[in-house]
Structure 1
Amino acid sequence: MDDLEGLTVGQRIQTVRERKGKTRAVVAGLVGRSEEWLKKIEKGRLQTPRFAMLVNLAEALQVDDLSLLTGTSNIPMGLAQRASHEAVPAIREAIEETMLTVASEPWPDADDLQRRASAAWRQWHVSVAPRSDVGMPLPGLIRECQRAVRVLEGNDRRKAYRALSEVYGLCEQILAWVAEPALLWLVADRGIHAAQQADDPLALAGAAWVLGNVQRSAGREEESVHLVDQAAELIEPELDSRQESRAMWGALQLHNSITSARMGREGDALRYLDLGGEAARSLPAGYHHSWTVFGQANTDVTAVSVNADLRKGGRALSEAERVDPDSVPSNERRARLWLEMARSYQLRKDKMGALNLLAKAADVSLEAMRCHPLARGLAGELVTSGGRVIEKDARSLATRLGVAV
């Protein structure tokens, strides 16, 4: 039975938000609106949001059934605005496949698998359509790594497990926002298991970075912060001797900065951001980690994201002025920079600026923006509340991003 029976849509939104432990500021920020706007919705002082905005609120609250917010049963289950991608079915099949018997020939080369995993991560970052370019050949690499860990022994087997853990991490990036949560949880769990078998603290820290992403997207932010803190502690003994560990440690600090910002914990968010900045400055100029792309450029981009999540639009734009987009070693992250700037302009109620910057993000990587809920939500919001001056251009951009408005 619906235990929210009799409540208005606004009251339902408030009740679900409070049960999830999320503040108005955090939820409002995730849908690109003000805290005062959300308060008026919850208190019934504004009309019920349109369908596109209800979908955005459901995303922000991690609600799978929209009727929980609306109180009606005739609205299609799930988030109709959620993106999908053609690469997902084959990846799902490779991940879920059970190999009871495996062929030993050709004999697996663990070093080659590691090189191919690293190459796949590089392709993910340089491609303008990473889900297509990396997602299509990825199932074959998943199967080869799975076979290798069954056939090899000793140190080669541990190398193969490390490669498999990295491949699962890449799967999480590809599947985020376009696959069902159960598959993401499976990928993260498999990645942790593979890293444990690799017997490498760095691999385990990387797998925790991946699992933390999934926990955060599921609204389990406290668990994510705790896990990532543990992962950082795990590799601290290696920080002076292993540059890659120092980069991963910095990436974990940025991870927790983003998570803390989404919980509305400004002090923690800025503290973790400072720690990440210190780690970035300790690395050679121009350095970036092979798959988290941790380095000074990504740290600067994260500063923009964190301040946007904290609803500090002016401060986010000030941080953006420090970033040279050409120095960001990832098209997906470069597109995200323009998206965060668009969100910041939206916070300042500059609809035209937000539209232009979101269009710039789509120009950098249309695929990334078509899949990202923040980009899709902002596009829909610009159509419905951006005003007649930009409505035509906003509707055209929303169509590019696959948003039905």
Structure 2
Amino acid sequence: MAQIAAARADFRATRFSQLARRLPKLLAQAVACREAAALTEASQAADRLAQTYNLATQLLVKLHDNGMAWATADRAVQAASSGNDPMVLADARRLAATVMRRTQHRDGAQRLMLDAARQLHTDGGLADTAAAAVYGQLLAAASYTAALRDDRDSAWTLLEEAENAARRIGTVKNDRFDMLELAVYKISVSRVLGDFGAAVDYARLVDPARIPSPERRARYWEDTALALHGRGRPQAAFQALVAADRDTPQEVRYRPWAQKLTRDLLSSARHNDLPGMRDFAARVGAL
């Protein structure tokens, strides 16, 4: 479990290259432990294997390797189905839905997320903070998926339900979902729906320094920079991109959104409009 925790810390800190080096050995160990586990330990070993495959899926999604992400997501669901932790299974189904969404299977992705949320609610009644946080995370992810489907009503209805879950959690600390995470989702959903002005307004309400996870701060910078660009404010978009690079450099160097935005800003900028733009693009590998 300590090695899984270390790998999870790499992901949350956006240390993607370090995580990529760590995962092969971690996966091999998890598979071997599952195969060697006694009957009484089989469920626990399956949960650990599912968590490891979940981490692999998260990394592959970040790197846009959708083909490999399909494989790891499927293996995570299979392993979690043999385990006994409903939240590990919910995580596996959410990540499988994320891969589906990224490969244009958005209707199926939303159904899978909502099914996972309903099952989690039915099985445990959201009796503790951790379950409520996973439930809220599933609903928020389903809201984002609805936005990608241009289903405005469902997107905001689901996000309102996610907000109810966040309020239920209150001020209890968790690393999954809370009111701050919800605020970042409002930026994401508005941007995807094309409401760039609303997205920028929501972004102004969030202090990124209060977001504890660099991975989630990276999402804040992504949505803010893209919303500003969509709003026709290239200087502000560039400033957000620079802030993202300063805060989470591997996000900017490895993620397609940052590379594409950098090239778009570079190609559309007039002379002296964005001082330092070309040097920035060269430094992050977008040239």
Q: TM-score, normalised by structure 2?
A: 0.93
Does the CA-based 8 Å contact 1:288-1:329 persist in structure 2? no
Aligned residue in 1 for 2:159: 273
Shift of 1:278: 1.3
SS in 1 for 2:16: helix
Q: C-alpha distance in 2, partners of 1:357/1:144? A: 40
2:125 to 231, 235, 239: 239
Kept in 1, the 8 Å contact 2:147–2:189? The answer is: yes
CA distance in 2, matches of 1:226, 1:155: 34
Greater relative CO, 1 or 2 (CA 8 Å, sep 6+)? 1
Give the AA of the match of 1:360. Answer: A
**AA partner of residue 254 (structure 1):** A
In the alignment, is the contact (CA less than 8 A) between 1:286 and 1:296 conserved in 2? Answer: no
Q: Is the 8 A contact 2:262 2:286 kept in 1?
A: yes
Which ranges in structure 1 are unaligned for 5 or more consecutive residues?
A: 1-112
Residue 117 of structure 1 is matched in structure 2 by 4
Instruction: Determine the structure 1 residue equivalent to 2:248.
Output: 365
Match of 1:309 in 2: 192
Residue in 2 that maps onto 1:329: 212
- CA RMSD, 1 decimal: 1.8
SS, match of residue 353 in structure 1: helix
Does residue 181 (structure 1) correspond to residue 66 (structure 2)? The answer is yes
- Equivalent position amino acid for 2:133 in 1: A
Distance 2:25 2:170 in 1: 35
**AA matched with 1:116:** Q
Matched residue type, 2:159: L
Shift of 1:164: 1.1
How far did 1:398 drift?
2.1
Report the equivalent of 1:287.
Answer: 173
Q: Under a length normalisation based on structure 1, what TM-score does the superposition of the two structures give?
A: 0.67
Cα-to-partner distance string for 1:21-72 (whole Å, 9 max, x where unaligned): xxxxxxxxxxxxxxxxxxxxxxxxxxxxxxxxxxxxxxxxxxxxxxxxxxxx
Q: Which moved more, 1:315-324 or 1:177-186?
A: 177-186
Alpha-carbon shift at residue 392 of structure 1 (Å): 5.0
Deviation at 1:286, TM superposition (A): 5.4
Quote the offset at 1:301 in angstroms: 1.1
The answer to whether the Cα contact below 8 Å between 1:232 and 1:249 also exists between their aligned partners in 2 is yes
Aligned length: 286
Match of 1:255 among 134, 137, 141: 141
1:336 to 1:400, Cα distance in 2 relative to 1, 3 A? farther
Are the aligned partners of 1:336 and 1:361 in contact in 2 as well (CA < 8 Å)?
Answer: no
1:341 matched to 2:224? The reply is yes
The alignment-based identity, stated in percent, is 26
Q: Offset at 1:391?
A: 5.0
Offset at 1:248? 0.9
Structure 2: gaps of 5 or more residues: none
Structure 1 position 132, deviation (Å): 2.1
